[in-house]
Amino acid sequence: MAEDLSRVFAALADPTRRDMVARLAAGDSTVGQLATAYDVSLQAVSKHLKVLERSGLVSRSRDAQRRPVHLEAEVFDLMTKWIERYQREAQERYSRLDTLLASMNDDDSHDDYSNHDDSHHDESHHDESHPSDNTIRRRGAAS
């Protein structure tokens, strides 16, 4: 599976091949029909298609004189499963980080108020330059 995915992602690394895949998603085409969309030789388009074919993204069949190129959608299922797995893992990490940050925020909020003793604080002698008051005020303003 890992080797298959490597071939698929390597094939899709080229913008021309990604565009070919997009065009084939709309329907099967011949090499000649695909070639009209690009400013390259028919041989260059064939080389791109061979890379896509080796990766399993496309197949070619015989239809009388034509050899239509067909997009193999099953390969996208494989890619999607791989991407979703890592997406789930990343989301779980972010969720754990959110939980940790929220608990740190709760701890900071609790510490700001529990460390501030109002019993010795006289409003009539409030000093705006008291460092602990400014620290609490700055933290509160940032939330």
* Burial class of 20 by CB neighbour count within 10 A (0 to 12, 13 to 18, 19+): buried
pLDDT digits (tens, 9 = 90+) for 102-143: 998 887 776 655 555 555 555 554 445 444 444 444 444 444
pLDDT digits (tens, 9 = 90+) for 13-42: 999 999 999 999 999 999 999 999 999 999
| Range of weakest confidence among 55-64, 94-103, 119-128 | 119-128
